[in-house]
Chain A
């Protein structure tokens, strides 16, 4: 069965960086784009960006460009999202999600989420 397993919670100071991982299993890793979506406490969902594991090309929302880097490791079927220059407003649960088969940009399978807390 398809599974996306994310790394554990992180606590970071303002200005630091964080790298969240998302390990995929149960399907052909390079066949489906992976997206990153975040949710601040008590708030809605915000799409951040996406990576094509087949080639590593990425796209991201303008507000995250220059601060978010998405990469993948095909030897371990893992994608990574690294965010730099963290500020308190980046405190959120970060989710990875996989496209639905034959439907691009429909978020079918989700990771369990990774809480990133930014606090001095």
Chain B
């Protein structure tokens, strides 16, 4: 199975900060990586697909980059509604389609 390792597992940031979350795959996954946002008690929401494609309706302050084994989710200017947990997910291998462990973004 391909392991997806996210860092950090949590971070504290202020409104307006630039936030970067990284995800490393245990083997190459090309650009088959997605990013999801999850708020407490809610289902995850797709933000970024295929490493860098912004899902429709997602604010442009979110961006994704990377290929191979190293990927990044960036929030250019953190907004109050962005405090949540973020997960990466790979869809390169057949199965299983593994997720990273999550990064909780908290208010400083």
Question: What is A's interface to B at a CB cutoff of 8 Å?
Answer: 35, 37, 44-47, 49-50, 59-62, 95, 97, 100, 103-108, 110-113
The answer to whether B43 and A100 have CB atoms under 8 Å apart is no
Q: Quote the shortest CB–CB distance from A1 to chain B (angstroms).
A: 12
The answer to whether A47 and B49 have CB atoms under 8 Å apart is no
- By secondary structure, the B interface counts as loop
- Residues from chain A with Cβ under 8 Å of B89 in the complex: 45, 47, 107
- By secondary structure, the A interface counts as strand
Point out the residue from B95, B97, B102 that lies within 8 Å of A44, measured CB to CB. B102
Given the complex of chains A and B, what is the CA–CA distance between A87 and B36 in angstroms? Answer: 28
Given the complex of chains A and B, what is the CA–CA distance between A103 and B46 in angstroms? Answer: 12
Q: Quote the shortest CB–CB distance from B104 to chain A (angstroms).
A: 10
The answer to whether A100 and B44 have CB atoms under 8 Å apart is no
Cβ of B30 within 8 Å of any chain A Cβ, yes or no, is no
The answer to whether B91 and A105 have CB atoms under 8 Å apart is yes
Give chain B interface residues in 75-106, CB to chain A under 8 Å.
87, 89, 91, 94-102
Point out the residue from B46, B97, B102 that lies within 8 Å of A47, measured CB to CB. B97
The answer to whether A112 and B97 have CB atoms under 8 Å apart is no
